[in-house]
Structure 1
Amino acid sequence: MPRFAANLSMLYAEHDFLDRFAAAARDGFAGVEYLFPYAWPAPAIAERLAAHGLTQVLFNAPPGDWAAGERGLACLPGREAEFQHGIELALQYARQLGCERVHVMAGIAPAGAAREALHECYVQRLRWAAQRAAAQGVRLLIEPINGRDMPGYFVQRQAQAHALVQEIAAANVQVQLDLYHLQIMEGDVAMALRRDLPTGRVGHLQIAGVPERGEPDQGELSGPYLFGVIDELAASCGWGGWVGCEYRPRDASAGGTTRGLAWMRRWLEVKNGSSARQ
C-alpha cells in the first residue's frame, strides 16, 4: 500500500507552518514533506515531528533567490560557492530532522547558455553533493519539472533524469518522479511507472490532479488506478518509497485540506478491507 506523505507547503494553508504537522497527523498521515525548512530552526521542526509521530520524508536544498525566480543552482555556472553552502545547510537540517532524502533543484537554464556547459556543471555539482550526502546516509533526488509551470527548467523529462543519474554514477542519487509533471510532459504514466520503478533509480513519488494540480481524484489521472499499479510494483520489485501529496486543495477555506482527503480515505478503506479479507 502506498505510504502517503503530506506536502506541508501546499496542504493545510489555513494553519501556520509549524501547526500543519499536527493537522497532518490528525488526518492520518505518517510522513511529511515540504519545499524549504530554512525559515524555521531545525530543532523546532524536529520537536513537531517527534510530538506527532511523523517521519520527515523529503525537503529541498536551497534554490537560490526564490523570490527573484531562481529555481535551483545546480546547472548555473559561477554559483558553485552558493550551491555548496546550500548543500551543507540542507544536510545539517537533514541530520537534525532524520530526513533521508533531499531534492536538489537543477535551475532555470540561462538564455543563450550552451547546453553542454550547463550539463557539465550540473553533473559535477551533483557528484560533489552526492559525496557529501553519502557520508550521512542521505539520498539526493533530481526531479523533472514540466515546462508549463516552470519554463526553462533544466531537467524536464524522465529519460533525461535517468540518464543523468546513470552519468553521475553515485548510488545515493535518484529520480523524484512526480506524476503530475510526467503527465503534462509525456503522459503514459502507468507504463512509465512499470518501466522506471524496477530500475531502482526512483527514490520518491509525488502526485496531484492534472491539469489544475488539485486532489488526485479528478482530471486526467486516475489516482486509485495508479496506486494499484504502485502496489503491484511494490510487491514485484520491492519498491518501498513514499508518495508525496503535492497538490493545492480545490477547497481553499479552513478545513478544505481535510475535506479534500476523501480520496485517500476511500483508498485506504478499500485496501484495508481487501487486507482483512485475505
Structure 2
Amino acid sequence: MPRFAANLSLLFNEVDFLERFAHAVRYSFSAVEFMYPYDLNGTDIKAAAIEAGLPIALFNAPVGETFGFAALVELEEFKVLMQPALDYAATLRPEKMHILSGLAEADDHADTRYATNIGWIAAELAKLDVLAVIEPINSYSIPGYFLNNLKQAFDLIKKINHPNVKILFDIFHIQQIHGDLLHQLQKVASAGLLGHVQVAAVPHRHEPGSGEVNEAFIFQALDELGYGGYISAEYNPAGATTEGLGWLDNHVSTP
C-alpha cells in the first residue's frame, strides 16, 4: 500500500504550523511536506518533526513573486536567491526539494538559464543527500509558468545532465496538462525519473475522491510500478481538515 505525506501548508491549518505535525501522525500520515519554511525557525521545525516521528519528505525553494527563479536569472543571482533553501535543507534534511522555474517564455535563453541553475542546485543538494525535483504546472493554475508539460521536463533534464534531478508528478497538474494519467506515469517511471508524487482532486483541488480522477487506480499503479516514495496530500480541504480525511482510510499503510 502507498505511504502518504501531509502537506502542512494546506492541511490542519486550523492550528498553528508547529502543532500540525502531531495532527498528521495522529491521522496516520507517514511523513510531512510543506511549501515555504522560511518565516519559521528551522530548528523548531526539525524538533516538531522529530517529536512526531515524521520524516520531512519535501519543501519548496524560495519563489519570490515570480513563482520561482530558475528560468529567470543568471547563475550568480540564482546562487544568492537559493542560499536560504540550502541553509534550511542543511537543518531540516528533507528527502527532496522542489525548485520552481518562474514565469518566463520558453526559449533558448530561458532553457539555458534553467539548465545551468538546476544543475548547480542539484549538485549542491546532492552534498546534503537531498533530491532536486522539478514539476510541470498547468497553465490554468499559474498562467505563464515556464515548466508546463512533461516533454519539456524530459528535454530539460537531458540538458541539465545531472543524476540528482527527477520529476515531481503532481496528479492535479498532469491531469489538466495531459490527461491519460496512467500512461504519463508509466512514461516517467520507466525513464527512472519519478522523484515525488502529489495528489489533489481535479478540478477544484479538494480531497482525493471528490473530482474527476480515480485516484485509487493511480495509487495501485504506483504500487505496481514499484514507487517507494510518499504520495503527498497537497490539497485545499473543502471544510475542516479532519472532516475530509475519510479518503485516507482505504489507502493508508502503517508507517
- Normalising by structure 1, report the TM-score: 0.87
Task: Give, in angstroms, the shift of residue 205 of structure 1.
Answer: 0.4
Q: What is the deviation of 1:209?
A: 0.2
Q: Which amino acid aligns with 1:232?
A: E
Aligned to 2:40: 40
**Secondary structure at 2:251 match in 1:** helix
Is the contact between residue 2 and residue 251 of structure 2 (CA under 8 Å) also seen in structure 1?
no
* Separation in 1, partners of 2:238, 2:210: 10
For structure 2, which runs of at least 5 residues remain unmatched after alignment?
none
The structural deviation recorded for 1:100 is 2.2
Identity across the alignment (%) = 39
- Cα separation, 2, equivalents of 1:157 and 1:181: 9
How do 1:60-71 residues align onto structure 2 when only pairs under 5 Å count? 60-64=60-64, 66=65, 70-71=66-67
| CA deviation after TM superposition for structure 1 residue 119, in Å | 0.9
CA–CA distance in 2 between the matches of 1:159 and 1:4? Answer: 27
1:85 deviation in Å? Answer: 2.3
Correspondence for 2:73 among 72, 77, 81: 77
SS in 1 for 2:250: helix
CA distance in 2, matches of 1:218, 1:100: 29
Cα distance in 2 for residues equivalent to 1:4 and 1:162 = 26
SS class of match (1:259): helix
For 2:135 and 2:126, the matched residues in 1 are separated by: 19
Unaligned runs of 5+ in 1: 273-278
- Higher helix proportion, which one? 1
From 227, 232, 236, the counterpart of 1:244: 232
Q: Distance in 2 between matches of 1:56 and 1:86?
A: 22
Paired residue for 2:26? 26
TM-aligned CA distance change 1:108 to 1:231, over 3 Å: same
Per the normalisation by structure 2, the TM-score is 0.95
State the distance in 2 between where 1:99 and 1:77 align: 25
- Retained in 2: the 8 A contact 1:35–1:59? yes
Q: 1:167 aligns with which of 159, 184, 202?
A: 159
C-alpha distance after superposition, 1:198-249 (max 9, x if no partner)? 3211110001000000011121111111111111111xxxx21111110011
Report the AA paired with residue 241 of structure 1.
G
Q: 1:223 aligns with which of 215, 219, 227?
A: 215
Q: Does 1:95 align with 2:90?
A: yes
2:106–2:146 Cα contact (<8 Å) kept: no
- Stretch of structure 1 that moved more, 80-89 or 98-107: 80-89
Give, in whole Å, the separation in 2 of the partners of 1:241 and 1:114. Answer: 30
* Matched length: 254
Amino acid at match of 2:87: Q
Q: Greater relative contact order (Cα 8 A, min sep 6): structure 1 or 2?
A: 2
Shift of 1:114: 6.9
